[in-house]
Amino acid sequence: MISVREIDHLVLRVRDIEAMRRFYCDVLGATHVAWRPEFGMSHLKVGRSMIDLITVDGKLGKAGGAAPGREGRNLDHLCLRVEPFDQEAIVAHLKRHGIEVGEIRRRYGAEGNGISIYLTDPEGNTVELKGPSDGQAPPS
């Protein structure tokens, strides 16, 4: 039996790796770990997980076909568990960085129901910032 504990890493194919690295590091607090030019890949640490950015025209990115855009994306959304989760401070921080804040509401995630904030990264990927569980029963 396989028992999954958490997301290890997520790989995003990107057109502008510098803008994406700035967004995930400067806005969302990821740490840049390594740049691997032979793959066109940047490794970013987010908590105990990783987000890997690969250029669409690099060795790995070419295999994915066309670049993400309005007509197609690489994923539906990425959810990042945020702790501590101070909604007002998070919203203020996002606005200081010129990030449009989407719908804020209670949603179900790995730890249960809790408040989350939707936003969009520079290449149109939806990012969900998730707070702690409210202890309520899962949706039926």
pLDDT tens digit at each of 140 positions of the chain = 546 678 888 989 898 999 999 999 999 999 999 998 988 989 999 988 999 999 988 887 877 777 777 666 777 788 999 888 999 999 999 999 999 999 999 998 888 889 999 999 998 888 999 998 888 877 66
Q: Is the pTM of this model over 0.85?
A: no
Q: Are 35 and 42 in contact (CB under 8 A)?
A: yes
Minimal CA–CA distance to 102: which of 74, 77, 73, 133?
Answer: 77
Sheet holding 41-46, edge to edge: 9-14, 49-55, 41-46, 31-36
Residue 102: CB atoms within 10 Å: 15
E strands present in 6-65: 9-14, 31-36, 41-46, 49-55
